[in-house]
Amino acid sequence: MTEHEPGHGATHIRNVVTDSTVHYLVQIGVLNGDLHLTVPPRTEATDTPLGRAEERLARSLLHQWRAEADAWEMADPEPLAVRWVHSRTALAPGTELRGRGDRVDTMAGALLGLDHRRLLILGGAGAGKTTLAVLLTLELLARRLTRGEDVPVPVLLSLESWDAERVNFHDWLIGRVTEEHPGLPRVDGLHPARRLVSERRLLPVLDSLDELPEHRRIAVLRALGHQLGGEGGVVLICRTEPYRALVTTQQDVLRVDSAIEALPLDPTDVASYLRRARQPSRAAQWAPLLEELRSAPDSPVSRALSTPLMVWLLRRGYERAPAEPGELLDRGRFANAWQVEQHLLDRIVPASFPPLPPSPDRLHPPRQWEPRRARVWLSFVARLMNRQQTAELAWWRLFGAPLPRALTGPALIAVGIVLSVLFDQVLGAVEGSRNPFGYGSSLGLGVALAGVSRTAGQVWFGDDATATPRRRVDPLRFAGALRSAGRNGRLGRAWRLTVVIGGPPVVLALGLWQLLEPGTEGIALMAAVLLSGYLTIVLAAPSDTVDAATPDALLRSERTSVLVTLLVLAPLLAVGVGLVDWSVAQRYGSHQVDWIHAAATWCGAAATFLLLSPWSRWLLARCSLALAGRLPWPLMTFLRDAHRAGLLQRTAGTYRFRNLRLQQHLAGRAAAGPGGVVAPGGPVVPGVPGAPVVPAPRATPNGPAVVPGPAAVATGPLVGVSLRPASAWRGITVRREPGSYLLSGRIRTVMLAHWAPIGALLGLHLVRITVSGAWDQADSWKPLLGLPALGLLVMLISLLRRRRLELHITDTFIAAGQGRFRCRYEWADVAEAALRPVHLRGRDTRAHGIHVRLRPGAPVPPERFRGRDGWYLVQPMTVFRALPPDLVEALEQLSGGRWRPPGP
């Protein structure tokens, strides 16, 4: 750029080069004056694999949050001035930090100047906390990418997806970065998220702390206090009152360098902002309201417009004619600020979907949504999110609504019968068919083979990964898909290498065996099944795309995955069955092969892959809810338009309402419950081999939940909310001595883990009898009653068995035994101990047990005792998140300060 200094004829030229390395400077023309070339220093780390991964992550986040800022109209050239002052909280005695929401650059500089870069952002509902977090994120990314500053990459995340009692903070952060940005350049063959977190190259910006239940908020603050470390920075966002209520009663929580709190908006500033933001043609309509804000700061409308959320609602609700903002001055209708706020919340949906004529210049004009129906749809979504206790709207979770779940069985039966009739008509019309067994057996065989292939994917990636849609890898990039499948597999490293490397040679060897020995007809079918399972694993691998996923991208990927399955996996199974027929024909000297058998197998496999896919569940939820009037038919289009209107925000493939208060208002709740969310319901008793039977608690009017009936104690160790001492358990004895605690005895346990495979078998059997045409035979429906009866029988048999239970705690070790399994941990090798969920073979059992985290170099127990996130199981105890008081007292006294009690 050129600069002319007054009084000097010379022109001073400054060239500023960023994000580059200058080797040669070429001058064109004659320069009169000095030439100043400024090259911001570029760190050598950018040229390393980790530096390149960090740079790509920063650019991806900048693109993502710029789009959100545009959708939220944050890019206003003259934004609303929100004053942030130092908050005098119990945990913010450090550096005083102040700032204004319209001058985020100075606040970002102050944040980077803090000793540990730990900032707490407080404010009331709708005070602009999330907006400030987004603007801070964009400013820090801009400083890094355009100014060359050495700034950690800010990662804005919602705390709702972190269960602090189950998952270590660093592991959760690594998982979120890996999930949202799977395509970052690999470092030493691995995703760089772990290196970025361990080397403190990320700055977590954590939102929605106040949207969690109280016990989870306590767990989050405690976990952050223990797990951030001495140099870990964080930006934490929470409403003021819930946070202060916690810090006054809890001591062992996160310490921060500074805390800022939003001041209520000044009515004069609001009036100035609205005067700039309104349309010039509507100045007369806005004049009375603006005058009221300047002259009457204590009026109901002035008090209501004390937060950016309400100002945005006012601006959006009254920006178009014939809306009259002056109606808010009617004291008869709006006697207090609460009534004004409720009115503004009521107006936002009609204002977001105005009946505007489409522009003739646009090829795809926006849809016209009737405001009343849009309110009904958004209200249903908000109620469903409250019922599921979440603030994230994911399209694949719509299947959890009561109506789609109730229609699952009837829908499977109806669609299966229709497909069976269609298959019968198509296959029966082919001349020369000589299948002596009919088409039903072939269709059933295809269902069974497809079930085997689906099971391979579930074993490899886990049930949660296969039920949750992800962007799938490009099927044309087979090598990349193979690497992705190997990286993301749930099995151990040795098993993954064996399957990924040894799978193709085994399949090829079986194929050659079939060609050389035509009489071995089972070899071809075995090769087809193995190849189908192998391709199921490869094609289900997540995509290596660097940008974060969007809801529409996930849905498109899921449709593509179903299509690839129908066109690749199902034909492979059909070819295997056809080769078996060919082998049989060769054995008996026949040269004619009935390929109708193979075609029927393809039909059965294709129907199974289609009917049991996440896409079919989404289709059932969408159609049933649209027919009932709960949601629109073009649901994704409606959600996109609601996002453009500012009602929703979009992060990591899900939608969220702009503010929790808006979600609660649309759900029909004038005021949120404690913590701003629905109180959690009673826990569901899941199954785990060896887990004691514990009845569900019952809420009491004047106190905490209690366990119904003393007879329930006989089923096992009754711990949790009952708070009964362990010595009162039937069949259990407790011996307490100085420096020792011994719990021993025999308990009855219940087997519940078998219900998961029984449910999968029921689904496959339902598809088989309907698709194969056996739905009109009474004998075909008997397994639908027999399998549940078998499950109940297994439960009853397991109750008859009494298992030996032992837990020994001293001041030097903790040891446990159940049945023939034993474990022992020396306290010198233990970093901390806690009550955590029990995972068996990588699956969450929903039961809780005592776990330990070992120090580096400590002996590692057998694989059976390995949990998640570096924790190791000692003893499964209960399905509740609590222990009896005498056991907790022993752990606190004998563990040497290593015991970390769970939150209430």
pLDDT band at 797 (very low <50, low <70, confident <90, very high): confident
Residue 754 to residue 797: CA distance in whole angstroms: 13
Is the per-residue pLDDT at 253 higher than 50? yes
Q: Give SS3 for 414.
A: helix
Decide: residue 860, CB within 10 A, 0-12 exposed, 13-18 middle, 19+ buried. exposed
pTM value is 0.69
Question: In angstroms, rounded to a whole number, what is the distance separating the alpha carbons of residues 446 and 440?
Answer: 10
Dihedrals φ, ψ of 402, to 5°?
-60, -40
Amino acid in position 372: R
What are the tens digits of pLDDT across the range 408-460?
888 888 888 888 888 877 776 664 444 444 567 778 888 888 888 888 777 77
Residue holding tokens 């001349």? 431
258: its two tokens: 């500074």
Q: Which among 398, 383, 393, 465 has a CA at the least distance from the CA of 653?
A: 393
What is the spatial distance between Cα 878 and Cα 837, in angstroms, rounded to a whole number?
A: 9
Which residues, in sequence order, are bridge partners of residue 745?
732, 805
Q: Which two tokens stand for residue 752?
A: 């519940």
| Low-confidence winner among 158-167, 474-483, 614-623 (lowest mean pLDDT) | 474-483
Report the distance separating Cα 798 and Cα 260, nearest Å. 57
- Mean pLDDT calculated for residue range 835-861: 78
Q: HEC string of 791-854?
A: HHHHHHHHHHCEEEEEEEEECCEEEEEECCEEEEEEHHHEEEEEEEEEEECCEEEEEEEEEEEE
pLDDT at 904: 47
Q: What pLDDT, on a 0 to 100 scale, did the predictor assign at position 436?
A: 42
Statement: residue 687 has pLDDT above 50: no
CB 86 within 8 Å of CB 119: no
Question: 249 pLDDT band (50/70/90 cuts)?
Answer: low
Pairing of strands 821-826, 813-818: antiparallel
pLDDT at 15 over 70: no
- Determine the Cα–Cα distance for residues 83 and 72; give it in Å rounded to an integer: 20
Residue 563, amino acid:
L
Res. 554 pLDDT band, cuts 50 70 90: confident
CA distance 844 to 467: 15
pLDDT band at 839 (very low <50, low <70, confident <90, very high): confident
11, 42, 45, 148, 245 from 17: Cα distances, Å: 19, 11, 18, 10, 51
Q: Residue 371 contacts by C-beta under 8 Å, 6 or more apart in sequence?
A: 349, 350, 353, 354
* C-alpha–C-alpha distance, residues 566 and 698, integer Å: 48
pLDDT of amino acid 366: 54
pLDDT digits (tens, 9 = 90+) for 332-360: 888 888 889 899 999 888 888 876 555 55
Q: Which domains does the chain have, with CATH numbers?
A: 1-40 (no CATH), 45-262 (3.40.50.300), 267-352 (no CATH), 371-401+630-670 (1.10.10.10), 408-428+438-620 (no CATH), 698-749+801-900 (no CATH), 757-800 (no CATH)
Averaged confidence pLDDT in the chain: 74
CA distance 240 to 242: 6
Report helix, strand or coil for 123. Answer: strand
What tokens were used for 298?
């204590």
Res 377 pLDDT > 90: yes
**pLDDT for 515:** 61
**What gap in Å lies between CA 569 and CA 535, rounded to an integer?**
7
- Categorize the per-residue pLDDT at 74 as very low, low, confident or very high, splitting at 50, 70 and 90: low
pLDDT at residue 16, as a whole number: 46
118-123 and 258-262 strand pairing: parallel
Q: Are 31 and 14 in contact (CB under 8 A)?
A: no
DSSP annotation of 214 reads H
Q: Is the pLDDT of residue 4 over 60?
A: no
What is the residue whose two structure tokens read 């022109």? 11
Give helix 755-771 / helix 782-800 axis angle, nearest 10°: 170
By CB atoms closer than 10 A (0-12, 13-18, 19+), residue 566 is middle
Mean per-residue pLDDT for 600-606?
Answer: 86
Q: Which residues have C-beta within 8 Å of that of residue 423, sequence separation ≥ 6?
A: 439, 443, 600, 603, 771, 773
Q: Which amino acid is located at 505 in the chain? A: P
Q: Is the pLDDT of residue 262 over 50?
A: yes
Distance of alpha carbon 749 from alpha carbon 733, whole angstroms: 17
User: Is 36 strand, coil or helix?
Assistant: strand
**Coarse DSSP helix, strand, coil percentages of the chain, rounded to the nearest 5 percent:** 50, 15, 35
Angle formed by the axes of helices 521-539 and 493-516, nearest 10°:
140
DSSP element (H, E) containing 600: helix 596-611
User: What are the CA-CA distances from residue 318 to residues 282, 289, 314, 328, 378 (Å)?
Assistant: 10, 11, 6, 11, 21
Q: What are phi and psi of 206, to 5 degrees?
A: -105, 115
Q: Residue written as tokens 């209708």? A: 333
pLDDT for 693 equals 34
514 pLDDT above the threshold of 80: no
- Judged against a pLDDT cut of 50, whether residue 695 lies above it is answered with no
Burial of 396 (0-12, 13-18, 19+ CB in 10 A): buried
The arrangement of strands across the sheet holding 871-878 comes to: 871-878, 843-854, 830-840, 899-900
**261 contact partners, CB below 8 Å, separation of at least 6:** 84, 85, 86, 87, 121, 122, 123, 240
pLDDT at 437 (0 to 100): 44
Helix (H, G, I), strand (E, B) or coil at 202: strand
What is the spatial distance between Cα 241 and Cα 676, in angstroms, rounded to a whole number? 11
Phi, psi values for residue 818, rounded to 5°: -145, 115
